[in-house]
Chain A
Amino acid sequence: METLSFRLSASTRAGGTRMQAIVGVVASGNLEVLLERAAPADSCMIDITTAAHGFGAVWEAVVRDFVDRRPAGGLRISINDGGARPDTVALRLAQGVRKIEEPER
């Protein structure tokens, strides 16, 4: 397993009030993304454990785009990856933000 960590500054704080959200499962070509409100509002921390070695540059590109395009401020994001493709990673990250922003019932 390879671990990667990114600390990025985020211009927009994630909306909603939920403290955490989880999307996806760890399976071949898939990943789980756990989002917790546990970072300063102007930053986003992303920790990745991945089964696919040597893709640090691709991960960096994906998470940078994510933080640029989505409201990710204040989030600590933890990823367990089963070798997902970058488009799947981007989709799960977006799904995660949408989920943590959902109104609480």
Chain B
Amino acid sequence: MTLTGIGVTVRQAGPDDAVGGVLPRWVALPESVEEIAALLRACAEQDLAVVPVGGGTKLHWGAPPERCDVLLDMCCMNAVLEHAAGDLVVRVQAGATMDALAAELAGKGQELALDVPSGAGSTVGGTLAAGLPGPRAFRFGTARDLLIGITVVLADGTVARSGGKVVKNVAGYDLGKLFAGSYGSLGVIAEAVFRLHPLPAERRWVVAEPALDEVPAIALALAASQAEPSAVEVDRPDPDGPLVLAALVEGTAAEARARALRDVVGGGEVIGQPPSWWGRVPSGEVLAEVRFPPTATGAVLDAAAGAGTALRGSPVAGRLLLATDGQLAVSALRKTVEDAGGRVVVLATPDSGVDRWGQISGLALMRRVKERFDPGRRMSPGRFVGGI
């Protein structure tokens, strides 16, 4: 078996290239969409399994792949291809880092309103494929809401695109929706087109330490406030310690609006910089994401305290991350959360016996989608829901 002679740079894999403990044989470094296609065609001919990777910040998330012959490293495809500032649209290669993209856009007073919870090094492709929302998803939606066009390469080397370069567009199926949050299991995301927003004139955070039992009511009041916060987050690093709540206001008149929100919270200070923990994934060997209807906030906070984990996330969007270096009793947590109308997904854990995803109504349909896109099960096999 060989990947030489296809015009794609390939090197032997080393121990640092392992995906969830599974060591690939090669690392491929394509430099164009055509090279990705050539590589995937060669992999198809030789039945080699492929895991795409961007910055590698979330490579330990999801189940380890059933097999992994080739790690497809997108680092060489890092160009911002087209920033149409007048149209508030950008087309970018998937290997570009979110930081580099942000810097480029800021030069024209614009931004992609997508937070990057996994921090420095995160790429456009990885941020899309993992689909983890950040604080401002409350206002701007998640990656799939800001993605307006995508170019993907399927397991057989087919290059396909959907959407386009205009925000308003309902022609054809939206493949971007399927690939956002697909954990590399349907194909390789090669390029993305996003809608942009003007950088806000000002940003202010209201930071307070409310009593735990006051948080649900405060969160509901903030969500309903006409001062329009862009985000409301809570952070509780110690399951027995205090909880910090922070609300973000963006735009003109931010100071006045932040003061209005401080009144809603019932105290706290207004600051011009985010708290240090803002928008970052909390650290811990075990990381779980809880999604829930906002009225279940109290129940979920109690469940997290009961599970003895750190917590961080948004009570207004109904999304919290729980992190611990110890054991997480997943079934008990899931039972409590599901009874409150929510879901638990274990994003990362060293424990291979855990049910990471829980029950999903659409799983049978998802399997059928996977079968059509990747009948040979070569793209990140086993990584995603239901062992897809």
A and B from one complex: no
Residues of A whose CB lies within 8 Å of any CB of B are none
